[in-house]
Amino acid sequence: MDKIRLGLVGCGGMGTRHLYGLWELVQSPFSNVELCAVCDIRRENAELAAQEAEKLIGIRPEIFTNLDEMARAVPDLTAVDVVTDPSVHHDVVCQALDLGLHVMVEKPMAITVKACRQMIEAAERNNRHLSVAENFRRDPSARLVHYLLQTGAIGLPYMALFHSLGPGNGIFITPWRHIKERGGALLDMAVHFTHMIRYQLGDIAEVYGDVRLVEPVRKKPDSIGDTYTFYQNQFQAMESEVPATAEDTSLAMFRMENGATVNWLVGLSGHGGCGGEVIFGNEGSINGFGTRGGSISMQRRGQEARNQEEILASIDGFSLEPLAEYLFPTGISAGDSAVDWKLIALEYYELAEAILNGRKIEVDGGCGLKDVAALYAIFESARAGRALRMSEVENCEVYAYQAEIDGALSLQ
Ligand SMILES: NC(=O)c1ccc[n+]([C@@H]2O[C@H](COP(=O)([O-])OP(=O)(O)OC[C@H]3O[C@@H](n4cnc5c(N)ncnc54)[C@H](O)[C@@H]3O)[C@@H](O)[C@H]2O)c1
């Protein structure tokens, strides 16, 4: 077998984008995934995805509304790509693993830490790969920051800030992103950020945090611009207002295992905003943790600041993996309109390589759980009124906030 046979489960906005990611991979000399089927509980979404796939890849995948039926009907199905909304990740992923399939699941790995644990146990029980699709770390800018930190380019990191505070009360992509037990906007968006903090600075030791619900009513935006048919259709059908139950604003201090501190201010609410990502070391600083389509810069002690192009020209020993070199030949993704798809192509490629040739999964269940736990540590700290050790959150010893979500979802 030189290709894995894949089913896409969850054919909404990101599911559609995954099809474009697959297309990027299929067009490359690295193609190792064959799309056989699409599945969505809403048949019209699966049909639209099948149409998109046929338009892009030239082969129409089979359409299903039930994962069990798909697994039984499609011969030699190897893996599924789970791109449903987060509140059902654990149900769908555990079912797929118990059916003997390998799984890639979109971030956030799951709706709570307990749900993550169920998924890890199911992967172990069935001896199957479980990969969390975390795209930001695969961007060339993120790889470069990682390399610079690992090689001591700015000395020892001692402090960082991660600020992403955007104003407004618009519905953020989908109504479910404002409902606590469906996966609020902070979980959806900021789990990328806890992941990037951990990717660049290592594990977190302790968290103090606060969260607020600043916008109790979310309103349909005036437009969404020219985008995929799925998003256009979804926008047409969107209600004009959504009562929000998920907090939209957060502040935290992370103390890392290596002693560095990270100052965090993340939200989408209210009036005014601020943004900035900086890592300070005792020999210099880096602007940016790396992100999808982003660029970074670095200033070392006594030197002028250098942009990403200048950094790349001045260092030896840095390289991307072969598929990433092929997709990003300049080593820069900023301004590349296909960056979203290319990072997804890298995720698919890695999963298939793990299945076919034993490649290590970068963001496995354990890593995905730590990202989710780091985000919920902010909420749990706010609820407990004290700083928390990460181990207390990862082991579900402090769990009052998430217990309400588990209760609403009848998650045991
Ligand atoms: N990595 C990124 O940059 C990125 C960007 C957007 C979304 N996401 C993630 O992708 C996931 C999906 O988000 P979205 O914006 O596409 O949501 P969405 O609501 O647009 O799509 C979810 C789809 O899943 C389907 N679904 C729900 N339960 C199902 C089930 N049990 N079986 C099959 N299908 C089911 C829904 O009908 C819908 O079509 C989320 O985890 C989200 O956080 C990641």
Dump the DSSP string for 312-348: HHH-SS----HHHHHH-TTS--TT-TTHHHHHHHHHH
In a domain, 236, yes or no: no
Question: How deeply is 306 buried, as exposed, middle or buried, from its count of CB atoms within 10 A (0-12, 13-18, 19+)?
Answer: middle
Q: How far is the CA of 300 from the centre of ligand 1 (A)?
A: 42
Question: What distances in angstroms separate CA 264 from CA 135, 161, 193, 360, 380, one per listed residue?
Answer: 21, 6, 9, 31, 15
How many angstroms separate the alpha carbon of residue 330 from the centre of ligand 1? 32
pLDDT of residue 107: 98
Residue 183 reports pLDDT greater than 90:
yes
Determine the average pLDDT of the residues in 396-401. Answer: 98
Q: What is the pLDDT of residue 224?
A: 85
How many of the other CB atoms lie within 10 Å of CB of 159? 15
Q: Each residue of 199-213: pLDDT tens digit?
A: 999 999 999 999 999
Is the pLDDT score of 99 beyond 90?
Answer: yes
The whole-number pLDDT of residue 10 equals: 98
Q: Tell whether 111 is covered by a domain.
A: yes
Residue 35 lies in a domain: yes
Pairing of strands 204-212, 388-389: antiparallel
Which protein residue's CA is at the shortest distance from atom 2 of ligand 1? Answer: 135
Sign of the torsion angle spanned by Cα atoms 387, 388, 390, 394: negative
For 8-34, what is the mean pLDDT? 98
Residue in 20, 48, 83 to alter for ligand 1 test, most ligand atoms within 8 A of Cβ: 83
Probe ligand 1: pick from 40, 69, 80, 85, max atoms within 8 Å of CB? 85
Q: Is 176 left (phi over 0), alpha (psi -120 to 50) or beta?
A: alpha
When pLDDT is averaged across residues 151-173 and rounded to a whole number, the result is 97
Go through 206-219 and write b for each residue having 16 or more CB atoms within 10 A of its CB, e for each that does not.
Answer: bbbbebeebbeebe
pLDDT in tens, 58-67: 999 999 999 9
Distance set, CA 208 to CA 158, 199, 204, 256, 263 (Å):
18, 20, 11, 12, 10
Calculate what percentage of the chain has a pLDDT beyond 90: 98
Q: Which of 249, 43, 260 is nearest to 161 (CA)?
A: 260
Neighbours of 337 (CB within 10 A): 7
Question: Is residue 273 one of the residues assigned to a domain?
Answer: no
Query: Quick one: average pLDDT of 257-276?
Result: 96
In this structure, is residue 24 part of a structural domain? yes
Ligand 1 pocket test, candidate residues 64, 84, 92, 101, most atoms within 8 A of CB:
84
State percent of the chain over pLDDT 70: 100
Report the separation in Å between the CA atom of 206 and the middle of ligand 1, taken as the mean of its atom positions.
31
Beta bridge partners of 242: 218
Alpha-carbon span 166 to 71, nearest angstrom: 42
Q: Could you tell me if the CB of 141 is within 6 A of ligand 1?
A: no
Q: Of 147, 159, 162, 161, give the one whose Cα is nearest residue 259.
A: 159
Cα 371 from Cα 369, distance rounded (Å):
5
Shortest CA distance to 112 belongs to which of 379, 376, 388? 376
Ligand 1 atom at minimal distance to the Cα of residue 230: 20
- What value does the mean pLDDT of the chain take? 97
**Res 225: pLDDT:** 80
* Domain-located, residue 254: no
Q: Domains in the chain: how many in total?
A: 1
Q: Is the CB of 86 under 6 A from ligand 1?
A: yes
> What is the DSSP secondary-structure string of 2-33?
-SEEEEEE--SHHHHHHHHHHHHHHHSTT--E
Sheet holding 157-166, edge to edge: 306-307, 297-300, 284-287, 274-281, 157-166, 261-268, 249-256, 204-212, 388-389
Is 211 domain-assigned?
Answer: no
Q: How far apart are CA 108 and CA 102, in angstroms?
A: 18
Is residue 278 a part of any domain in this protein?
A: no
Q: Name the token pair of 207.
A: 């968290």
Q: Which amino acid residue places its CA nearest to atom 40 of ligand 1? A: 85
Q: What is the pLDDT of residue 360?
A: 98
Query: Residue 51: which domain range?
Result: 4-135
Task: Say if strands 249-256 and 204-212 run parallel, antiparallel, or are unpaired.
Answer: antiparallel
What pLDDT band is residue 29 in, cutting at 50, 70 and 90? very high
Rounded to the nearest whole angstrom, what is the distance from the C-alpha of residue 132 to the centroid of ligand 1?
14
Residue 253 has pLDDT above 90, yes or no: yes
pLDDT in tens, 286-307: 999 999 999 999 999 999 999 9
Q: Are 342 and 336 in contact (CB under 8 A)?
A: yes
In CATH, what number is assigned to the domain containing residue 18? 3.40.50.720
- Convert the pLDDT of each residue in 42-77 to its tens digit: 999 999 999 999 999 999 999 999 999 999 999 999
Residue 99 identity (one-letter amino acid): L
The ligand 1 atom nearest the CA atom of 176:
19
Does 18 score more than 90 pLDDT?
A: yes
Is pLDDT of 33 > 90? yes
> Which residue is it, tokens 């479910």?
176
Which atom of ligand 1 lies closest to the CA of 86? 41
C-alpha–C-alpha distance, residues 335 and 191, integer Å:
24
Over residues 360-389, the mean pLDDT reads 98
d(CA 230, CA 261): 41
Integer Cα distance of 78 and 100 in angstroms: 8
